[in-house]
Amino acid sequence: MNKSQLIEKLAIRTHQTNKVAEQAVNIVFDNVKQALNSGDKVEIRGFGSFLLKKYGAYTGRNPKTGEKVQVPEKMLPFFRAGKDLRKKVDD
């Protein structure tokens, strides 16, 4: 499922126009992004949580040339599936 399919299904399920559903979808993902970008975390019960995780620097290698590359420390968004989602997917 991609974003436009999600919007279409949401509009049908909630009896709203595609335009309203599109705006709602955008607000949800924009707000999650903004929360993490500003250092906050997002916790949605039954679904999961988003947080920023720090990944340490390491020495990697270019697999083509075998050359050593220093990969600097970085922050990445990390999603942890909630209990309900984890259970349902595994059933």
Partner 1 sequence: MVKADLIRAIELRLNLSHDEATAQVEGVLNLIKDSLTGGDSVLISGFGQWKVREKKARVGRNPKTKEEYEISPRTVVTFYPSNVWRQEIADHFQSNARG
In the bound state with partner 1, the residue whose beta carbon lies nearer, of 66 and 70, is 70
Q: Decide if 81 contacts 89 (C-beta within 8 A).
A: yes
Binding-site ranges for partner 1 (CB under 8 A): 1-3, 6, 9-10, 13-14, 16, 20-21, 23-25, 27-29, 31-33, 35-37, 40-48, 52, 74-79, 81, 84-86, 88-91
Identify which of residues 44 and 69 has a Cβ nearer to partner 1 in the complex.
44
Angle at 81 (CA atoms; ends 77, 85), nearest 5 degrees = 150
Instruction: Indicate the SS3 state at residue 21.
Output: helix
Q: What are phi and psi of 58, to 5 degrees?
A: -150, 165
Residue (9 or 61) nearer to partner 1, CB = 9
